[in-house]
Structures are given as structure tokens and as C-alpha cells.
Amino acid sequence: MSENTNKEALLAAKDEQKRSDFIAKYEQAILRTASSSSHKYVTKEEDEWSIALVAFSKAIDSYSEDKGDFLPFAMMLVKRALIDYYRQNKKHENELSISPNIMNGGQQSEEDLSLHKEISKASLEKESNLSKELLLKDEIEGANEMLKEYGFSFYDLTKASPKQDKTKEICAEAIRCILNNKAYLEELEAKKKLPIKALSKEHDLSKKILDRYRKYIIMAVLILSKDYPLLAAYLKFVRKEE
């Protein structure tokens, strides 16, 4: 099912009629995502529908198979577009939030201006944090759906993550090996299994550790090789950025 959708998306990017048919096929899915992201029932007469539609169309243009299945990728872009839309609207609300005194021909006092700036700053920071939380939630949900194909969920990782520095470094080395080797990455995605034998034999990595922490390694490889920027930030040590 997902493979057919992925192929349809690639064809839709090259043909306008196929694009229209493809979008029409997934109208209800787009509306559901727009409604859940907006926390209200969205119809085609509302701005949210237009924004979601544009985001879905952009997803078609930017999609490639290395981004995983098309629908989770597209719906993530739809959610992000709507979050940006609400954030921009909130920003303009803050910009227009002036003292009522100005409406009567009076001037804002320095105290009013200072207070307004503090309120606006706090409101924007709160909105920014909320947007990040929502985006992170979306990424976790997307990653969870992707990991189900590998036989486990994102939430299994609370018990499957390495704790000791030495173990973490071995796992990080395995992750780097896969990310830097196209054959390893293709084997992982095709067979849904970690190439433990090759990693152990060719890179002298502990087979026992690779097997024990295979879920963690698979998760990290997929997040770092696909479109999960917020989750990827938690894996900076793998790329030796810290």
C-alpha cells in the first residue's frame, strides 16, 4: 500500500493531471491532518485548507524515496505549515497589541511601551516553545510509524538505549558506519534488519553490543538519514558535533 502511494507521488510530481488526481484521492487525509493540527474541524472553505493543500503539493515536489513513505512525510509538512501559520498570526496579534490610550489621540508612555515589549517577548517565546513541542510531537509520531515496520516502536527505546559512555561510542560508531555506507543503509531499509554480521566482521564492533542495542542503532540511523531535525538534535554525539 505505502509503496504504491510512494510511486504515485513520484509520478504526480511530473504530471499535472496525475497531481490533481493524487491530491483528490487524499483530500480526506489532508483535511483530517489539518483538523487535528488546528484543533478544530476544518472545511475546504477555510484558510487552513488552502495552507494544507499548498504544503501537500510542496511535499509532492520535494519527495524522494530516501525520505521514507510519502504520506507520513507529507502530513508532517502539512502540520508544520499550519503551525507556522498560527505562529505568524500570533506574532501579528502581538505587534498590534498597543495601549488603548493611543486610539484616543494620546501617546504611549515609556512604561506602556516597556510593558508591551515584555508581554510581546514573553508571548512569542511561549508560542515558539509551543511550536517546537508540537513539531517534536509530530516527529515522534512520524518516527513511531516508521519504526513499526522494523518490529518495534519509538517508545521501546526507553529500555533499549545505551547508558555507559563506552557502549554509546560503540553504537555511535556502528551508526556512522551505516550512514557512510550506502550498501549498509540499503540493506537495513530493504530487510528491516541491522547488518550485524558485516559491522562486526568488517569494523571489529562487538556483535553482542550490536545485537543488544540494535533497536537504538536502527532508530538513530533512520532519524539521522531522514527528515527529523528536532530528534536529530538529540543525536549530535553520533556525528561528533559535541
Residue range of the domain that includes 199 = 154-239
Q: Average pLDDT for residues 131-147, to the nearest whole number?
A: 78
Q: Are residues 34 and 92 in the same domain?
A: yes
Is there a single domain that holds both residue 169 and residue 139?
A: no
Cα separation, 196 vs 199, in Å, equals 5
Tell me: do 15 and 101 sit in the same domain.
Answer: yes
Q: How far is CA 173 from CA 48, 101, 189, 217, 235, in A?
A: 44, 63, 19, 10, 12
> Is residue 19 domain-shared with residue 41, that is, in the same domain?
yes
pLDDT for 68? 86
Confidence band (pLDDT; 50, 70, 90) for 113? Answer: very low
Same-domain status, 126 and 170: no
Q: Is the pLDDT of residue 84 over 50?
A: yes
Q: What gap in Å lies between CA 223 and CA 142, rounded to an integer?
A: 10
* The domain boundary residue, chosen from 114, 148, 182: 148
DSSP designation for 150? T
Residues 124 and 174 reside in one and the same domain: no
- 141 and 205 both lie in a single domain: no
As for how many domains the chain has, the answer is 2
pLDDT tier, 129 (very low <50, low <70, confident <90, very high otherwise): low
Contact (Cβ atoms closer than 8 angstroms) between residue 156 and residue 179: no
- The verdict on 32 and 83 lying in the same domain is yes
Query: Where is the domain boundary, 119, 148, 177?
Result: 148
pLDDT tens by residue, 176-203? 999 999 999 999 999 999 999 999 999 9
Over range 69-74, report the average pLDDT.
90
| Rounded-to-5 percentages of helix, strand, coil across the chain | 80, 0, 20
Last residue of a domain, one of 117, 148, 179: 148
Q: pLDDT tens digits, residue range 17-68? A: 999 999 999 998 898 888 888 778 888 888 889 999 999 999 999 999 888 8
CA angle 149, 150, 152 (to 5 degrees): 100
Task: Return the percentage of the chain with pLDDT > 90, whole number.
Answer: 38
